[in-house]
Every structure is written in C-alpha cells, then in structure tokens.
Amino acid sequence: MRARNAAGRGGERGAALLVVIVSVAILTALAADLAYESRVSLEIAAGARDELRATYLAKSGVALSRMVLGFQQQIDDAAFAACGLASGIGQARAPGQRGRGAAPAQQPAPPCPRPQIWSAVPVGSALVQSLFGGGAPAEAPPGDTARAAFGDFDGTFEAKIEDEGRKVNAQLDAREISGPARMQVQGLYQLVCDPRWDPLFEREDANGTRTSRQDLIVHLRDWIDDDKVSSSLVASFPGTACLMEPADRPFEPGFGDENFPYDKGEDRYRAKNARLDSIEELFLVAGVSDAFISAFGDRLTVYLPVEAPRNVNTLDRRDLVELAGLLADPPGQPALLDPEFGAKLQQAISDQTLGGLMTITPQQLAGTVEALGVRIDAAGLSPASGNQFLTDRSYVFRIHATGSAGAVAKRIDAVVSFDPTQNRDAQAQVQQLQATATGVKPSRILRWREE
C-alpha cells in the first residue's frame, strides 16, 4: 500500500509548474494583445489629432488668403479713386489709330499701376509666425502656464492663389452681340488650336464619336444656353490653323437636337441648360475627356460672372501671345507668327511690371504689342465702350491651401469672389453693396472642396 501511494504521488510531480507555465503564456498573450490594442488606439488618436490639426491649418491658409485678397481689393479701390482724379485730362488717339486720320478719342483713364500683393506675399504659416511670433520666452521656467503667442502652433500650412480672371472662360454665356462673346469664342479657340493638340480631337470616344474643335465650342454653348436646339458657330477660318474670326454674333440657332451627343451609350442624360458650377462638370460636356482636362484644365475657368472681361496682368508667355492675338487687327499678322515674339512680349511686360509685381492696363498692353510690330484693334479696351473684353482687375480667385501636421496633409480647393453682385439675389446684392460702401471687403465662397 505504501509503495502504491508513493508511486501515485510521484506521477503528480511537475503539475503545478505546468499550470504556471500555461498561465504565464496566456497572461503574456493577453498583455501583448492589450499593449498592441493600446498602441493602435494611441496611433489612431494621434492620427485623428493630426488630421484635425491639418484640416484647420488648411482652413487657416484659406482664411489668410482671403484676408490678403481683401487687402488687395482695398488697394485697388484706393488706387482707382486716386487715379480717377486725373482721368479725363487731355485727349489722345486710341491705340491702333495712329496715322489713320481718326478723330481724337477721350483717354478712358490714365495708367494706374498697383502692387499685386497676393502674388508677392508668400501666404503660409511662416508669414503668420513672422507677423505674430510664437512660443513662450526661452527663459521661461518649466511649467510656466503663460499662454503661447498666436503664431505658436504645431504643423504648417501654405496657400497658392490663382487669378481666375487671367484664364480662358469656358462659360460661353455672354450676350450674343457683345464684344466679350466674340472674344470668349476666339480665346477658347486659340487655347486649343495648336496642331500639337490634334490627337485630342482626332480620337474617338467610347461611343465612336469624334469631336472637332468647332464641335467642342458648340457643345459648350449648348450645355449652358436655355433652348433645346443645337447651335451653329458663325466664324471664318482664314488659312492658318490657329486663326478664327468669329462674327459679332458668334452663335445662331441650328436645326438639330442639342441632346443628340448625350443620347448614346448606357448612361444617357441631357444638356444642363444652365451655367457650369465647377471645372469637374466639364466632363459631362460632349468632347471633354481626361486628356483634354489634363492639357487645358489649369488654363480654363467657369467661375467668372457673366461677360467678365479677361485680365491682362500675366507673365505667362502663352497667355500673352493669346492676348496679342485677340488685339491684332487683322489677325494672323507675320509678327505674331515669329517664334521670338512671345519671348519679346514677355520680357517687355516683365520690365513694365517689375517682374509681375505691378499691374498694367489693357491700353498699355496694346501699346506694347503695337510697339512690337502688330497692328491692333483698340475697340473694347475702354469700359466706356460697353463691350469691354479686357481689364486690369480681377474679383475671382482660386485658393489651393495645404495643411500639414505630423504625417497627415489636408488640402482645400476654394474659389472666392469679391464681386458683390455675382450669383446673388437683389436683396443680397444690396446688403453686399452696403458692406462694400463701408470699406469692408467680404468675399463669397463659390467652391469648397476638401481632400
């Protein structure tokens, strides 16, 4: 009996050790899982914190840009008020009429150069910190509860401002018999007419349809007009590929159905018959593809008010050559075809504007183009003409703001307008004009997109 009991007790040896090892293994796994879950939760919380910081830093970039643009509007108003005191002094011939025996025309306004602070001032967190400082003093003792200065924040932001008034307007909704309507069509054709873009207009889409440059202009017009019949483009194309002379009334009603290009394929829809609301909406217009937007998207705008003239204050060589083509009379002059013409015009405008810091008027641009050997047409340069298609002031701007905090970056694409009457009803226009009269320069958001 004693021998059997001893043998039984010997078989139970090490059981406690086994239980301890298993328990430790289970507790280790639970502890590791808990530590992992805690780490993941901490990283998620830190990511959410950085995302929130980055979002509001990007919004700070938009707000700071709007403040800078508001100052720009006040500078423009003050400059126009000062220059207006000297307007109407003396008589002068309109550019392009020298030596033609034309009667002297009233000078619409003297040159009124203004600084473009929005393009000269780098809008970003560095500007805020340089203006307002940041952080507690270096000699502050640890644990000091004094509040940090305004510029003391974690992360950075920067904003890029684009002048929408310098771009080609894809909203072909100007009055059919106005100067801007003719120039809108001509400017849009000049943008796409270069022969290097032929592959964009020679390829067929998924429905087997090929859209020419002229068809694209007609489709843009049909998308926003208020009828249901297709339009006809009234223009002549004298020889050279990049020459088009629209009539004073560039569109006439046709006899077809404007919705015919959209009645093909599985996803059928109709023309909007209203203004475009965004650049992305251009994808719905027949003939506009990803390749088209990649090529021209950064040079097109749909955010300008009706019949808004195009701003001449740019240093982009392509834009300057296009503006010279709009001024040329007759179009297609040999000087415009000179490969060095764009470089010469760009250098001349850069010298006049101190590298783009100051502005020039359409009359000054016309004089510079004429000095380079191009005969011009001065009709429509003066606001008094009623058909002004060029200007030296913009009211609509696009803001690309980026906020960064930690490893997170947030981007905001916003379009703001300082035009008190754009897209507003009568009562809102009155309120906005009253606010403008008091010296306040509010802006209105036309587009807001966060990424």
Q: Residues 196-222: pLDDT tens digits?
A: 899 999 888 888 889 999 999 999 999
| Residue 450 parent element (H or E) | strand 444-450
The residue-averaged pLDDT of 290-312 equals 92
Residue 88 has pLDDT above 60, yes or no: no
**pLDDT > 90 fraction of the chain, expressed in percent and rounded:** 44
Q: Give the pLDDT confidence score for residue 209 in this predicted structure.
A: 86
Specify whether the CB–CB gap between 95 and 191 falls below 8 A: no
Tell me the average pLDDT across 299-321: 92
pLDDT at 96: 39
Percentage helix, strand, coil, to 5, in the chain?
Answer: 45, 15, 40
- The model's pTM is 0.82
DSSP 287: T
Average confidence (pLDDT) over 440-451: 85
Over range 410-435, report the average pLDDT: 73
- Which residue would you say has higher pLDDT here, 153 or 34? 34
Q: Find the mean pLDDT for residues 45-65.
A: 93
Round to whole Å and give the CA distance between 12 and 9: 5
Q: Is the pLDDT of residue 229 over 60?
A: yes
b/e map 82-112, b = 16+ CB within 10 Å: ebeeeeeeeeebbbbbeeeeeeeeebbbbbb
d(Cα 221, Cα 230) in Å, to the nearest integer? Answer: 9
Separation CA 85–CA 32 (nearest Å):
79
Residue 440 CA to residue 420 CA, distance in Å, equals 11
44 three-class SS: helix
User: Alpha-carbon distance 206 to 186, whole Å?
Assistant: 29
Other beta carbons within 10 angstroms of residue 318's beta carbon come to: 14
- 156 alpha-carbon distance from chain centroid: 22
* Range 344-352 contact pairs with CB under 8 angstroms and sequence separation of 24 or more: 344/372, 345/317, 345/320, 345/321, 345/369, 345/372, 346/315, 346/317, 346/320, 348/372, 349/315, 349/320, 350/315
Answer whether residue 105 shows pLDDT above 60.
Answer: no
**Other CB atoms within 10 A of residue 212 CB:** 11
Give CA–CA dist 379/388, Å, rounded: 8
Task: Work out the pLDDT band at 248, boundaries 50, 70, 90.
Answer: confident
Predicted pLDDT at 424: 58
pLDDT in tens, 175-188: 766 678 888 898 99
Domain 165-391 belongs in CATH node 1.10.40.60? yes
How far apart are alpha carbons 181 and 248 in whole angstroms?
A: 8
3-state secondary structure of 100: coil
pLDDT number for residue 149 = 54
> Does the pLDDT value for residue 102 go beyond 50?
no
Confidence of residue 108 (pLDDT cuts 50, 70, 90): very low
pLDDT 10s digits, 385-396: 666 789 999 999
Lowest mean pLDDT among 125-129, 211-215, 278-282: 125-129
Given a cut of 70, whether residue 136 has pLDDT beyond it is: no
Q: Which residues in the chain are classed under CATH 1.10.40.60?
A: 165-391
